[in-house]
Every structure is written in structure tokens, then in C-alpha cells.
Structure 1
Amino acid sequence: MVINLSKTTYISLLLSSILIITSCARPRPVLYPNDHFKEVGTKQSLQDIQKCREMAEAAGANATVKNGAVKTVENSVASAGMGAVSGVVGGAIIGDALKGATIGAASGAAYGLMQDFINGTARQVTNSTYINFVNRCLKEAGYDVEGWE
């Protein structure tokens, strides 16, 4: 059985797959290699990070704010609209405004999505309360948190 999909469908599936894969990346604290870190080692520090994460979640701090993906969709839709308008103009010049609008919308949506990936907007946004909780827990355990990646 062969399923024929349009090029636009293939592009949509590809971009959706990229969004799903990259949204699974989970930000983590970056620890400064102070004396405590050197003493316990990487394996123990990862266990301590996980313990602090679990404590934060048990206390009610949500790890992520769901608006990262929403912003990506909004930006992609806006870019698709701008692309469609530009495509109408280009299509009208060559005699097929509808085809131009379709190509412009697809190109605009792809541009908006890729721009969000480059700028990091597409990733999940980590909740500041959650970060503060984990940072405090790690500090009390003897670690120095330099930031999150």
C-alpha cells in the first residue's frame, strides 16, 4: 500500500517531529567544580540533582511552564500569515496568486519555527520557582550552581 502525501504534508511532519524531539530536552543546573563537587564526583552530583528535582516537584513546584511551545506555534502562525501575504504578491506577478500564497505560507511557517529553534523559544521554559528551589537545595548540599542549560 502506497500513501501519496503532498510536499506540504511531508514538511509539516518533519517540522512537527523536530518540535517534539527538541521539546523533550530538559534544562539542568550547571555546577561549578568546587571542593564539594570534586570530593563527591559527577555520579553523586547527578544523583543529588535528581533528589533536589524530586523535592521541588513534591513541594509543588512545576518544572516547566507550558508556554514555550505555545509561543512557537504563535510565532509560526504569524510567520505563515506574513509569508502568505508576500506569496500573494509574488504569485500575482507570475499569474498564480493562490499558489504563491500557499508557498509563502509554508515558507513563512518554516521560517518562524526554525527561528524559534535558533533563539531557544521552542524549548520548554523552566519555571523560576522550580529553579530557585533546586538551586537552594543544591547550595545546602554544598554545590555552587552557575546557571542552567
Structure 2
Amino acid sequence: MKSSLSFFSACAALCAVALVSACASSGPQSASARPVLYPNATLQRVGDAQGQVEVSGCMSRASAAGLSPSQSTNEVGRRAGEGAAVGGVASAVGALITGRGGEGVLRAGAAGAAVGGSAGAVSGAFHNDRPNSTYRSFVQRCLSERGFDVIGWN
């Protein structure tokens, strides 16, 4: 019975992580967002399909200029380090409070650092996908020069 409960818990946790990561990798605040065009005279004249071709062309131009849609950060490493420090210290202090001395404190600190570092790395991975404002400005200016109005990103 305990084995099936553990299996169910593991499956539920994996599903939750998949759902959260899917949500985190899309939307206007993600690096994978695309410009939304206002239906001005240019878009009405050329049509939605050609408007999307122009969007893709401007995005390609920005990439060719050396810009990336995502702003690279060291969020994963930074959060892993923070998590390891907090987890290690908290576990060591907890071991001291409960009366485990010497080697018990070291073991608890090491275990806490491992768990905290892992949790911090996962957290950092979810926060590492930031849009690059310079890339977005480039794409918007390119589209503006072609007669399109960008009203947001989706």
C-alpha cells in the first residue's frame, strides 16, 4: 500500500512540475512571445498572414543583428547557491537545537545544503526565461518602419 502511495505522489509531483513549466514558458512575459499587431491600415491592406510573415522577418533581422529574444541571466546558479546556503545553515542549526553534536551537525548541514541547492536550482530554472527588451525594441522598430503598429506581446 505504501509503495503505491509513493508512486502516486511521485506522479502527481511530476505532473505539477510539467504544468508549471508549461505555464512559465509562454505568455507575454516569456522570451517566446510574439508581437501583437494593431489592425491599422497597413495590416488591413496586406492581411494577417502577410503581417505574420513581416513579424517573422523582423524577428529574424533582430537575431541576425546578434540579439536574442531571451535575456540570459545566471538565475539558476545564483538561486542554487542561495538555496544551498540557507538549507545548510538551517539544517545545522536545527541539529544543534535538537542536541545532535559534532558529526550529526555536519551531516545535517550537508544534507540541508544538498536539498536547498537542488530546490534553488529548480527555482532558478523557472525564473531564467526573461524577455530581452533590446530585442523587442528592435523588432518593434523594424515593424514600425514597415508600417505596422505593435500593441503588445503574446
TM-score by length of 1: 0.62
Question: Which residue, 54, 57, 62 being the options, matches 2:63?
Answer: 57
The alpha-carbon distance between structure 1 residues 143 and 83, as it changes in their structure 2 partners (threshold 3 A), is same
Matched AA of 1:123: D
CA distance in structure 1 between the aligned counterparts of 2:97 and 2:150, rounded to whole angstroms: 57
Q: Is the 8 A contact 2:35 2:152 kept in 1?
A: yes
Matched with 1:104 is 112
Matched with 1:8 is none
CA distance in structure 2 between the aligned counterparts of 1:57 and 1:116, rounded to whole angstroms: 23
The alpha-carbon distance between structure 1 residues 44 and 102, as it changes in their structure 2 partners (threshold 3 A), is farther
Asked if 1:75 corresponds to 2:79, the answer is yes
CA distance in structure 2 between the aligned counterparts of 1:146 and 1:108, rounded to whole angstroms: 41
CA distance in structure 2 between the aligned counterparts of 1:64 and 1:32, rounded to whole angstroms: 18
Matched with 1:11 is none
The alpha-carbon distance between structure 1 residues 89 and 29, as it changes in their structure 2 partners (threshold 3 A), is same
Larger Rg: 2
Q: Is the 8 A contact 1:27 1:126 kept in 2?
A: no
The answer for unaligned runs of 5 or more in structure 1 is: 1-13
**C-alpha root-mean-square deviation of aligned residues, in Å?**
3.5
Question: Which residue, 29, 33, 42 being the options, matches 1:28?
Answer: 33
TM-score by length of 2: 0.60
Q: Is the 8 A contact 2:62 2:139 kept in 1?
A: yes
Question: Which residue, 88, 91, 94 being the options, matches 2:95?
Answer: 91
Q: Secondary structure at the match of 2:36?
A: strand
Asked if 1:114 corresponds to 2:147, the answer is no
CA distance in structure 2 between the aligned counterparts of 1:111 and 1:38, rounded to whole angstroms: 48
The alpha-carbon distance between structure 1 residues 143 and 66, as it changes in their structure 2 partners (threshold 3 A), is closer
